Amino acid sequence: MKGKIGVRLVVSWLAVLVWTCVAQAATQTVKDSIGREVEIPDPVTRAVVANAYNTEIINAIGALDRVVGVDYNIYQDKESWRNRFSENQVIGKSQRELNYEKIVELAPEVLILTGNGAYEEAERQLGNFGIKVLVVDAYYTDQFARNCALLGRIFGRDAEARELADYFTSKLDYIRTRLEGVKKKTLYFEYRRIGNTTIPGNYFFNMIEFSGADNVFKTSKNVEVDPEAVVAKNPEAIVKVSAPNVYSSYYPPTREEHEAIRKELTGRPGWDEIDAVKNGRILLLSHYVHGGASKLVGTMYVAKFLYPDLLPDLHPEQVFRDWLVKYQKLDYIEGHAYPAYGFED
State residue 57's pLDDT score.
98
d(C-alpha 261, C-alpha 246), whole Å: 9
Task: Give the rounded percent of residues in the chain with a pLDDT score beyond 90.
Answer: 89
State residue 291's pLDDT score.
94
Please list, residue by residue across 100-134, b when 16 or more beta carbons sit within 10 angstroms of its beta carbon and e when fewer do. bbbbbbbbbbbbbbbeebbbeebeebbeebebbbb
- CATH T-level topology, domain 182-338: Rossmann fold (3.40.50)
Residue 2 has pLDDT above 70, yes or no: no
Residue 236 has pLDDT above 90, yes or no: yes
d(C-alpha 46, C-alpha 44), whole Å: 6
State residue 245's pLDDT score.
82
What are the residues facing 27 on neighbouring strands?
41
How does pLDDT run across 64-91, given as a tens digit for each residue?
Answer: 999 999 999 999 999 999 999 999 999 9
Give how far Cα 212 sits from Cα of 176, 178, 287, 302, Å: 7, 10, 21, 9
Q: Which CATH superfamily is domain 27-159 in?
A: Nitrogenase molybdenum iron protein domain (3.40.50.1980)
How does pLDDT run across 312-328, given as a tens digit for each residue?
Answer: 999 999 999 999 999 99
**Going by DSSP bridges, is the β-strand pair 97-98/92-94 parallel, antiparallel, or unpaired?**
antiparallel
Cβ-Cβ contacts under 8 Å for 208 (sequence gap 6 or more): 187, 189, 198, 215, 239, 302
232 torsion bin: left (phi>0), alpha (psi -120 to 50), beta (else): alpha
Q: Where in the chain is the domain with CATH 3.40.50.1980?
A: 27-159, 182-338
**How far from each other are the two terminal CA atoms of the chain, in whole angstroms?**
50
Burial class (CB in 10 A: 0-12, 13-18, 19+), 88: exposed
Mean pLDDT of 245-261: 90
Residue 24 has pLDDT above 70, yes or no: no
Q: Are 133 and 119 in contact (CB under 8 A)?
A: yes
Residue 21 has pLDDT above 80, yes or no: no
Tell me the whole-structure pTM to 2 decimals. Answer: 0.92
Residue 20 has pLDDT above 60, yes or no: no
Residue 150 has pLDDT above 70, yes or no: yes
Q: Are 198 and 287 in contact (CB under 8 A)?
A: no
d(C-alpha 282, C-alpha 317), whole Å: 17
